[in-house]
Amino acid sequence: MKVAIEISVAAVEIGKIGSSTKVISVGGTGEGADTAVVLRTSTQKESFAGKPEKRLSIQEILAMSIEKW
């Protein structure tokens, strides 16, 4: 989950996607992708502060491994 969130924040920070955009973000380990989430993007600064409509928001968990490595 952590990687999927970090990837979306990084994409906003470098200007590849806009803030407050609904996206599917995928993350995992060195072995491959194992997590997919639908979230509303934000910058790192806006993620936990500022206006609620600008904050990072996980909308749905599409896939997540039950095994922890």
Tokens representing 33 are 């992708």
pLDDT of 69 above 70 = no
Whole-structure pTM over 0.75, yes or no?
Answer: yes
Q: What is the CB neighbour count within 10 angstroms for residue 42?
A: 23
Return the higher-pLDDT residue of 33 and 69. 33
Q: Bigger pLDDT: 3 or 31?
A: 3
Decide if 35 contacts 4 (C-beta within 8 A).
Answer: yes
DSSP annotation of 7 reads H
Structure-model confidence comparison of residues 68 and 22, the more confident one:
22
Quote the pLDDT of residue 31: 81
Reported as half-sphere exposure (CB side, CA atoms, 13 A), residue 28 has a value of: 11
Distance CA 21, CA 42 (A): 8
Q: Give the range among 22-26, 27-31, 51-55 with minimum mean pLDDT.
A: 27-31
